[in-house]
Amino acid sequence: MDEQTPLTENEQAVPGRKAPVVAPAHKAIKKKSSITKLVLIGVVMVIGMIFAFVPMRFGLTLYHPFLSKEAISLGLDLQGGVYAVYQATNTDTDNFDAKMEGTRASLESLLSSKGYTEATIVREGSDRIRVEVPDVDDPSGILQVIGEPTTVRFVLDSTNETIITGENIVNAEPGYDNQNGYVVSLEFDSEGRKKFAEVTANNQGQTISIYLGDSTTPIQTANINETIPNGRAIISGNFTQESATELAGQIVSGTFDVALELKESQTISPTLGDNAMKYGLIAGVVGFILVIAFLCLVYRLLGLAASAALIIYVIIYLFFLAVLPWVQLTLPGIAGILLSIGMAVDANVIIFERIKDEYRGGKSIMAAYHAGFKKALFAILDSNVTTVIACVLLILLGTGSIKGFAITLLVGVLISLFTSLVVSRGIVKYIINLNSYNAKLYNLKRAKRYEGLDAGATDAAVLADMEREKQEKEEKQQEKERAKAERRSQKQKGGETA
């Protein structure tokens, strides 16, 4: 008979008694299945690395790998650009917070309409707005587009009455027509359309002046030549393309709910970002190689399994960085990536140390594997849950680079949980299935009292427990299906009775 006798705790605990040596159970393990699965994992890893790092051309289409500037959205500090910080000039107004949020949304809409779709507009504190526009050819032009956000007033000169304010202006943009040359086109909301139609109908030949903020000097004065009932007006004159663009920008700057003052602005060179990205990648690659070398040296085949799981982790991580629209990679974000990689390695170290402890205490390699993962689970979950909570708080309360750090760290922690508890566990399982009787391959050692105990002494018991657990799960599933079918039958009978 091939059946093995499991080693009981009473037999292990008797001092001076030699533990029974039982024939290893590795012959009963399905090696072919494990080899097939390991080969499939290796193929998936190779394919993933190709898609992650190698650019390819499919016909006329050029594929950009996950780790590329085209795939991953880079922040201002990595690809250069411009940033500006604006502060509200008057915070003592009704619904100030709502007006600040409206102003932020208006700035975002303005830059998006001008083609700067990757611009980031966030609030800093309660009374500041930070604008970041990465990867721009003319950084100084961004400040001209935004202008100096303030209030705008259209005043009828004959009565000195304000007829239109920035709240009534939907859009202002430069244009060109054959009759007037360069012009500025205005569009009003429904309230502004009614006011402007009435004023232009009753005051033809009069002038309207446009003022910014509290200034007494108009930025433009226009004649009322006809009634304008449709809410769309054109300001014409001796405009050049530059002057028309400047006037349109000045008018748009007055459409915000809150008047803003420019407090800080800076242009960041793309060269600085390129160097930071290059050296960050070099540091990451060197650190990654050292970590893999450490794992393989200390834990041998276990470390090899962890290294494979770590490579899969990096591939999945890069994929999510490339596809998630709200992830923007910054220098603090790179720090979050490296920190999350460290936490992924830490999870594997915790698991492997538990396996070593279990084997040292008399269990077989397979039994130590199951016990190690099971006992390390809650320690890993506890440490990662606290990190997740901290990341969520930083995302909700932080701004700018702090939020970028928190997002990349959160994504990395969640992926590391999957790779360490699922991927790493699977790879270790398949490797142990191939050899569960040579402890040296895993750098495992017995305590002195268990030196004579074979490495696979309790494998039969472990396999029996696994089979029993599998049967229990199947029985529970069948019981659920029977209960569901019974409830369905009772509902049908109730319907027929009714």
Given a cut of 70, whether residue 149 has pLDDT beyond it is: no
What is the layout of strands, in order, in the sheet containing 152-156? Answer: 161-165, 152-156, 207-212, 220-223
For position 497, what pLDDT does the model report?
Answer: 53
Higher pLDDT, 196 or 147: 196
Per-residue pLDDT tens digits for 252-294: 767 677 777 888 888 777 666 677 777 878 888 888 899 999 9
Tell whether the model's pLDDT for residue 241 goes beyond 90: no
Mean per-residue pLDDT, 308-320: 93
Cα(291)–Cα(296) distance, integer angstroms: 9
Q: 433 CB contacts (<8 Å, ≥6 apart)?
A: 29, 30, 31, 33, 34
Q: Where are the alpha helices (DSSP H) in 163-202?
A: 190-202
> Is residue 324 scored above 90 in pLDDT?
no
In this structure, the number of other CB atoms found within 10 A of the CB of residue 373 comes to: 20
Q: What is the pLDDT of residues 406-421, one digit of tens each?
A: 989 999 999 999 999 9
% residues pLDDT > 70 (the chain): 86
Alpha carbon of 453 to those of 52, 195, 298, 302: distances in Å?
46, 95, 23, 21
> Which alpha helices (DSSP H) does 54-136 contain, by range?
76-79, 96-113
Task: Check residue 464 and give its pLDDT.
Answer: 67
**Which residues make Cβ contacts (< 8 Å) with residue 34, sequence separation at least 6?**
429, 430, 431, 433, 434
Query: What is the arithmetic mean of pLDDT over 361-372?
Result: 88
pLDDT at res. 461: 59
| Mean pLDDT computed over 442-456 | 83
What pLDDT sits at residue 148?
62
**Residue 92, H or E segment:** none
pLDDT of residue 495: 57
Encode pLDDT of 325-346 as tens digits: 778 788 888 888 888 888 889 9
pLDDT for position 137: 60
* Residue in the structure block whose two tokens are 């980031």: 120
With a cut of 90, say whether residue 108 has pLDDT above it. no
Return the minimum-mean-pLDDT range out of 112-121, 132-141, 323-332: 132-141
Report how far residue 143's alpha carbon sits from residue 262's, in angstroms, rounded to the nearest whole number.
10
What angle in degrees, to the nearest 10, is found between the helix axes of 400-418 and 301-323? 140
Sorting pLDDT into bands at 50, 70 and 90, what band is 140?
low
State residue 13's pLDDT score.
41
Helical segments of 217-269, H only? 241-252
> What local confidence, expressed as pLDDT, does residue 294 receive?
92
Residue linked to tokens 């915790």: 350
19, 7 Cβ separation under 8 angstroms: yes
Strand partners, 211: 153
For residue 400, what pLDDT is reported? 65
Q: Is the pTM of this model over 0.75?
A: no
- Residue 282: CA count within 13 A, CB half-sphere: 6
CA dist., res. 356 & res. 365, Å (int): 9
